Amino acid sequence: MRRNMKRLTFRAICDVSRLVILSLVLAAYSTSTAFAQKQAAKGTDSDRRVGLVMAINEGAAGNLTATDVVFRYETFKPVVEKALGIPITLVAVRDSKELRRSLATGSFALVLSRPADVLAEAVKDHGYQAVVSSTEPAHAIFIVRKDSPLTKITDIKGKSIVTPDRYAYMWRIANAMMRDSKISIANEQVRTMSDQAAIGWSMESGFFDVGVVASYSGVGRSWEKNGGRVIARSPEVPNTPLIASPKVSSAQVQKLRTALVSLDSTQGGPAILKTIGITGFKEASSTSLVDLIAWLGDLESSKSQQAGMVQGK
């Protein structure tokens, strides 16, 4: 009898335990389901907070490595992140061909570049939009020594000319200026150099009759101050534009534009701008970038024309 009572008691305890465990499982399931539903509801917000990639291109000149460039923009990065409300990953891209490929495939959500032509092509062909550009005026300038007899661009025909790398931003502007003056760059004595400082040194040393540099380069800023002359100056061209891909909404673009345009008047802003070598930002127009490409001419057509002229010599 006692054994039967013990068995019944044991069974009752087991039944109660099962009920308790089942209740706990159901409670845990309900809690986890509710949590999952909340997370699902937040899914869209989580998607919005996925980081974007911002590329920096400072041209081929200079001695900064990709790591140096990224570190240089570390104080600028939080300004962009705060404006967009999302994390940003910085990458440095020095090669213009690589930059063009990445822009064509949409690898970067944001791109800031001193040479503006590659970005202008992305605006024209791949749906990017202009955000801001540097407030510093930008021109390609044709420089000569103080004692040079040359006084205008048409005088350079038949002279020795040194320019930045072929198809670089300043080279393309020089090509357009010469074309407009009925001078073919392919038919002239043109040498190219990657470093504009080297162009300045070569001109000072008398190795060439004419040099082409950016007005915002070290040489461009100091040439006339040091006694040299400028015989031709391009129309003002876009300087260090920032463009955004279709991944960035119009509302985000406007917030970023507002933050950057006012950066020079915010606490710590001037120091950030000085670190990245920019005087300040102004609102940029996508139309002005498209107009730039129209004036410069299609790069591939330019390459074909150059090849044809060289073969025809």
Each residue's pLDDT, cut to its tens digit, for the chain (313 residues) gives 444 444 444 454 445 444 444 343 334 334 333 333 343 333 334 334 558 999 999 876 556 788 999 999 999 999 999 999 999 999 999 888 999 999 999 999 999 999 999 999 999 999 999 999 999 999 999 999 999 999 999 999 999 999 999 999 999 999 999 999 999 999 999 999 989 999 999 999 999 999 999 999 999 999 999 999 999 999 999 999 999 999 999 999 999 999 999 999 999 999 999 999 999 999 999 999 999 999 999 765 555 555 555 444 4
pTM for this predicted structure: 0.79
Distance (Å, whole) CA 111 – CA 131: 10
- Report residue 242 CA to chain centroid gap: 6
Number of residues written out for the chain: 313
Return the closest-CA partner of residue 147 out of 198, 200, 209, 207.
Answer: 209
Quote the pLDDT of residue 51.
87
Distance (Å, whole) CA 45 – CA 43: 5
User: CA triplet 199, 202, 206: central angle to 5 degrees?
Assistant: 140
- Retrieve residue 5's tokens: 């009572």
Identify the residue whose tokens are 């409300």. 85
Q: Residue 75, class by beta-carbon neighbours within 10 Å (0-12 exposed, 13-18 middle, 19+ buried)?
A: middle
Quote the pLDDT of residue 59.
78
Distance (Å, whole) CA 290 – CA 173: 14
